[in-house]
Amino acid sequence: MVPVQTSAKVELSDDYKGYELEYFCVPRHYEDSLECVLIPSGLIQDRIERLARDVAADLGREPFAALCVLKGGYKFLADLLEKIKQCYRFSSENSVPFSVDFIRLQSYKDDHSTGDVKVLGVDGLSFLQNKNVLVVEDIIDTGKTMKVLLEILEKQKPKSVKVASLFVKRTSSSSGLRPDYVGFEIPDRFIVGYALDYNEYFPCESCLCHQ
């Protein structure tokens, strides 16, 4: 069964099996730890290009601040911004200014997430006041941490806040949060690749399903 594309996202069904590893160049020392290639690199890039078009169309010619959630979001951010810049170059002679900042979210108590989120990596968020903010995340699981982050951001009184997430897991523990821009909705499986790591391993371009 192949992914089913909708107007808002590409949805991978629960019984989606992905692609066999032998069809792709996966490092041999990873093969025993992987189940399949869930989403090939080319499909990821094509999907990001479409998300970039949607973001550029929504923002128009207005400047914006991109806020990247580390660690996994950095590669998605880089590819998304490059494609957004291409959209502006093709549609106008004038560029659109934007800034980039990086944050890390820490939610903890005895190694359990509590929803008590601490934002690391920037000296306050007051610089976001009256700005269009694009939050860039690699994957949203339950969405609880992102909901708290959005509450924190709203206190800074930005002009607007949009969330782009490359992956959203379909899980029974979801908070119901839906990003404004979704690359792929995936089953509740553990994935690696495309900067989503497991103990610093699996820096592959494709999205891989980890056993």
Mean pLDDT throughout 192-196? 78
CB 56 within 8 A of CB 94: no
The listed range with the strongest mean pLDDT (2-11, 102-111, 148-157) is: 148-157
Q: For residue 135, what pLDDT is reported?
A: 97
Mean pLDDT throughout 130-143? 93
pLDDT at 199 over 60: no
Q: For residue 8, what pLDDT is reported?
A: 66
pLDDT at 166 over 60: yes
Q: For residue 6, what pLDDT is reported?
A: 44
Instruction: Enter the tokens of residue 52.
Output: 């970039």
pTM for this model (two decimals):
0.85
pLDDT at 46 over 80: yes
pLDDT at 145 over 90: no
CB 138 within 8 A of CB 195: yes
Q: Could you give all domains of the chain from N- to C-terminal order, each with its CATH number? A: 4-210 (3.40.50.2020)
pLDDT at 98 over 90: yes
SS3 of 162-207: the string is EEEEEEEECCCCCCCCCCCEEEEEECCCCEEECCECECCECCCCCE
Q: For residue 153, what pLDDT is reported?
A: 93
Residue 61: CB atoms within 10 A of its CB come to: 11
Q: For residue 123, what pLDDT is reported?
A: 74
Q: Which residues are catalytic?
A: 141
pLDDT at 110 over 50: no
CB 161 within 8 A of CB 131: no
Mean pLDDT throughout 35-54? 93
Q: For residue 7, what pLDDT is reported?
A: 44
User: Which residue in 209, 210, 203, 179 sits closest to 75, CA to CA?
Assistant: 203
Mean pLDDT throughout 176-204? 78
Cα–Cα distance between 60 and 65 in angstroms, integer?
A: 14
